[in-house]
Amino acid sequence: MYRWEKNYQERGLSGLEDNRGRPKKDMYKADKKDKNQKPIDESEREELIRLREENKYLKMQILFEKKFQALLLEEEAEARRKQK
């Protein structure tokens, strides 16, 4: 407690931040982007757009299937309640 109070008095709220351990992965990604940054040509750009659209479609399909499955389970549970 004494150290926390001392750090707070010396550095304010930033003195209470925990800086121990390994840095977050986002920091590594930022470093890699700078090193490997090169312009992409038109065909790569088109493929990137196509893949992003496909990814978005697949995510929506997964969400739809989950919602549909939940709806079916809810209807089955309601039918069971009515039978009793």
Please report, for the chain, the start and end positions of each structural domain, with discontinuous segments joined by +: 39-84
Per-residue confidence (pLDDT) for residue 55, from 0 to 100: 96
The burial of 72, by beta-carbon neighbours within 10 Å (0-12 exposed, 13-18 middle, 19 or more buried), is given as exposed
Per-residue confidence (pLDDT) for residue 64, from 0 to 100: 95
Q: Model confidence over 14-67: pLDDT tens digits?
A: 777 777 777 667 655 555 556 667 888 999 999 999 999 999 999 999 999 999
pLDDT exceeds cutoff 60 at 82:
yes
Per-residue confidence (pLDDT) for residue 68, from 0 to 100: 95
Give the span between the Cα atoms of 24 and 48, in whole angstroms. 27
Per-residue confidence (pLDDT) for residue 11, from 0 to 100: 78
Per-residue confidence (pLDDT) for residue 47, from 0 to 100: 95
| Angle 10-24-1 from CA coordinates, rounded to 5° | 30
